[in-house]
Amino acid sequence: MSITRFVKPEGLPAFLAHLSKDARVLAPVVKPADKRSVVFEPWKEGKEFTLEKATVPAKAAVLPQCETLVSYRKVKDKANPQNVTLELDDTPQAETTVVFAARPCDARGYVTLDRPYLKGPIADPYYKARREKLTVITLTCNSGCNTCFCHWVGGGPSSPEGSDILMTELSDGYILQGITPKGDALLEGSGLDDGADRFKEMEDVRKAAWATLVKAPNLKDAPAKVAAKFTDVDFWTRETDRCLSCGACTYFCPTCYCFNITDEGEATSEKGGRRLRTWDNCMSPLFTREASGHNTRMEKALRMRNRVSHKFSTYPENWGTFSCNGCGRCISNCPVSLDIRQIVLDAINADKAAK
């Protein structure tokens, strides 16, 4: 029996204040606009927040859009300018961080990222430093949504994977359930009321959420079927006719982890030079452009093939599970509403369609 706590809506700011004593708390914040959006931002006392699903997932907590891998400075000897000493700093930028009110799909994203970044032949020290300092408090979803498909890919509205604490909205407040020892410890020290008596209610809410979901197709054959389509360029061309080759799908994806490395700044300047790691985007022609100018993926069809294959075929090949968590952000944020679900289904059903 895990540790549970209960908090009334009006108690949340105090809870966040408590969390932010020792950590940077990233909480969803509404950005009002004609097209409003929700983004994770460092919370501070008095700042408004929301519990809506964020437009942008909290991936940046472990993999920032841009981070300095190494900063370097060349320092000249005034007497002899030919003598130059190099100062290097490659300390990972890692703060103790609590992500508050992520959704289960976001939380599962961290697990998806952990595999290549931590479990491969080399653990990425920058990622590792941040991951170790991360606590994830996840709000379970009370309903499905038109673009969500977490339950197709092994998740669900209350999937605990990747979360330290699961939080569920009840009629009059929120129940927080420790999932990991880290989560338990946090709850124990939170000073919140015990929520054990609301446990049953919590389970009912979570079950009800499942009931709102549209029936999921069976994706068991997806890895093989998507792989089988690899050489069918016509298939990918048709599927990507309307793709604009922007980076919305990848940049809003909680599991896309490709990066680019560039040097900026001037080693001899006061600020020094920075070797940056920034999100990269396999939808962009730059992703595979070689120094010669040759590009192995000139066509957007080939780029989309890479993205879909990676999520539904090659990642599963390496790690035994999809690297898509079904958050649906690539669909909802796509300027042309390109639907990855449809591409996967078309791949699966290609044989039938052919017959």
Partner 1 sequence: MRIGVFICHCGSNIAGTVDCAKVAENARMFPDVVLAKDIMYTCAEPGQAAIEAAIHEHKLDGVVVASCSPRIHEPTFRRTVERAGLNRYMFEMANIREHVSWIGKDKEANTNKATELVQIAVAKLRNDKPLKAKSFDVNKRVLIIGAGVAGIQAALDCAEGGIQVVLVEREATIGGKMAKLDKTFPTVDCSACILGPKMVDVAQHPNITLYAKSEVEDISGYVGNFSIKIRKRATYVDWDKCTGCGACTEKCPAKKTPDTFNELVGPTTAINIAFPQAIPKKAVINPEHCRQLTKGKCGVCAKVCPTGAINYEQQDEIITEEVGCIVAATGYDLMDWTVYEEYGGGRYPDVVTSLQYERLLSASGPTEGHIKRPSDGKEPKNIVFIQCVGSRDRSIGRPYCSGFCCMYTAKQAILTKDHIPDSKSYVFYMDIRANGKIYDEFTRRAMEEYGTEYIRGRVSKIYPDGEGHLIVRGVDTLLGEGVEIKADLVVLAVGVEAAKGSPKLAEKLRISYDSYGFFLESHVKLKPVETNTAGVYLAGVCQGVKDIPASVAQGSAAAAKVLGLFSKDKLENDPQIASVDMKRCVDCGKCIRCCPFGAIKEVEFRGKMYAQVIETVCQGCGLCTSTCPQGAIQLSHATDNQILAEVNTLCQC
Partner 2 sequence: MPVLNGKELRIVGFLCNWCSYGGADTAGTARAGQPTDLRIIRVPCSGRIDPLFIVKALLNGADGVLVSGCHPRDCHYAAGNFYARRRLEVLKQFLPVLGIDDRRFEYTWVSASEGQRWQHVVQTFTKRIHDLGPAPKLEDPEPLLKVVDMALTSLRPLGTGQKNKLDELKAAIKAKLPELEVVIGWQQGYDAARTVPLFMRTPEDVDKLVWGPFNVNNPAVYLPQYKGKKVGIVVKGCDAKSVVELLQENLINREDVTIFAMPCEGTLDMARVNQELGRYTTIDKVEYDEVGVTITADGKEHRFCMNDFAQGKCYGCTMPTAVLSDTLIGTPTEVKPGPYTPPELALLDSMSLDERLAFWRGQMERCIRCYACRNACPMCVCRDYCIAESREPHWISQEDSTRDKLFFQTIHAMHLAGRCTGCGECQRACPVGIPILALRQQIARAVGQLFDGYKSGVDPEAVPPLLGYEVEEKNIHEREWK
- Binding positions for partner 2, rule: CB under 8 A: 31-37, 39, 53, 55-56, 64-66, 143-147, 212-214, 238, 241-242, 244-248, 250-252, 260, 262, 264-265, 274, 276, 278-279, 281, 284-286, 289, 331, 333, 335-339, 341-342
Q: Name the residue with tokens 């009006």.
A: 10
DSSP state of 154: T
Q: Which residues contact 152 (CB under 8 A, 6 or more apart)?
A: 216, 217, 219, 326, 341
- Which SS3 state, helix, strand or coil, does residue 290 take? coil
CB under 5 to 8 A by kind: which of partner 2, partner 1, none does 34 bind?
Answer: partner 2
Residue type, position 169, single letter: E
* Min separation Cβ 123 and partner 2, Å: 24
CB under 5 to 8 A by kind: which of partner 2, partner 1, none does 242 bind?
Answer: partner 2
Residue type, position 204, single letter: D
- Residue 254 near residue 59 (C-beta atoms within 8 A): yes
Check residue 290 for interaction with partner 1 (CB under 8 A). Answer: no
| Residue range at the interface with partner 1 (CB under 8 A); choices 39-47, 65-73, 74-82, 147-155 | 74-82
* Min separation Cβ 58 and partner 1, Å: 31
User: Is 180 or 260 the residue whose CB approaches partner 2 more closely?
Assistant: 260
Residue 338: closest CA among 206, 244, 215, 214:
244
CA angle 67, 73, 79 (to 5 degrees): 175
Check residue 76 for interaction with partner 1 (CB under 8 A). Answer: yes
* Min separation Cβ 275 and partner 1, Å: 17
* Min separation Cβ 248 and partner 2, Å: 4
User: Is 227 or 345 the residue whose CB approaches partner 2 more closely?
Assistant: 345
* Min separation Cβ 146 and partner 2, Å: 6
Pick one of 34, 82, 291, 353: the residue that binds partner 1 (CB under 8 A). Answer: 82
Residues in the chain: 355
Got the DSSP string for 193-261?
Answer: EE-GGGHHHHHHHHHHHHHTSPPPPP-TTHHHHHHHTTT-HHHHHHHTTT----SHHHHT-SS---EEE
Check residue 271 for interaction with partner 1 (CB under 8 A). Answer: yes
User: Is 119 or 238 the residue whose CB approaches partner 2 more closely?
Assistant: 238
* Min separation Cβ 110 and partner 1, Å: 37
Distance between CA atoms of 87 and 84, rounded to whole angstroms?
10
User: Is 168 or 250 the residue whose CB approaches partner 2 more closely?
Assistant: 250
Compute how many other C-beta atoms are within 10 angstroms of the C-beta atom of residue 73.
19
- With 0-12 / 13-18 / 19 or more C-beta atoms within 10 angstroms meaning exposed / middle / buried, residue 61 is buried
CB under 5 to 8 A by kind: which of partner 2, partner 1, none does 44 bind?
Answer: none
Positions that interact with partner 1 (CB under 8 A): 74, 76, 78, 81-82, 266-269, 271, 293
